[in-house]
Structure formats: structure tokens, C-alpha cells
Copies of this chain bind each other. A is one copy, B any other.
Amino acid sequence: MSTLHTVNKSPFDRPSLTSCLNHLMPGDAVLLIEDGVIAARKGSAFSSPLEAAMKDCSVYVLSPDSSARGIGDGDMVSGIETVDYGGFVDLVVKHDRTQSWL
């Protein structure tokens, strides 16, 4: 039993990512979408919290959204995986529930 958490806002603009990371259970997954992808950029204030979360959770980025914001795959915190919309669907299916941190 695990949860897919989606975060669609920049962690600099909203507390959603921080709240999300504070409520993860081991085995959960976090998918960064829309402005949420800003968290994935390496060297940002949110790199450490994401790295800590990846100890027992997975972190994904929706690649059409990171591309739109000029964040290349090489610009991201290492360990983060990218998915497209089809991969987003697969993640929803694979986890027992989806929680959107709006």
C-alpha cells in the first residue's frame, strides 16, 4: 500500500512540497509537475530535502514541464527520474492512491 504524491507548485512559492515531504511514508513516490519541477534543480535550497526523501521514497519529474522551464535532465538533483504523461499514468496506476498537494 503506497501513495503517489503530486506537487504542482514551486517550493519557493508554496509550502506544498515541504508539507508533502513531511507526510511521506516509506515506499511512497513524489511526482513534481507544472511549476513543481523547480524543486528538482540541483543546487537549490530544496536539493537536500529531496535527497533526504529519496532514501526511502522515489522522486519523479514530469519532463514536459521541466523542459518548458529550461531545466535539462543534467540540471536535476541526481536520483530523480523523469517521466512523460504516459509515465504519470503508470505511476497513478501503480500506487494505491494519489494525493495532490494543491
A-side interface residues toward B, CB under 8 Å? 12-15
Contact = CB atoms under 8 A, between A and B. Distances in A.
Contacts of A15: 12-13
Contacts of A14: 13-14
A36 B82 CA distance: 36
A38 to B, nearest CB: 13
4 shortest interchain CB distances as A-B pairs: A12-B15, A13-B15, A13-B14, A14-B14
A13 B17 CA distance: 11
A18 to B, nearest CB: 10
4 contacts: A12-B15, A13-B14, A13-B15, A14-B14
Nearest to A10: B15
A17 to B, nearest CB: 13
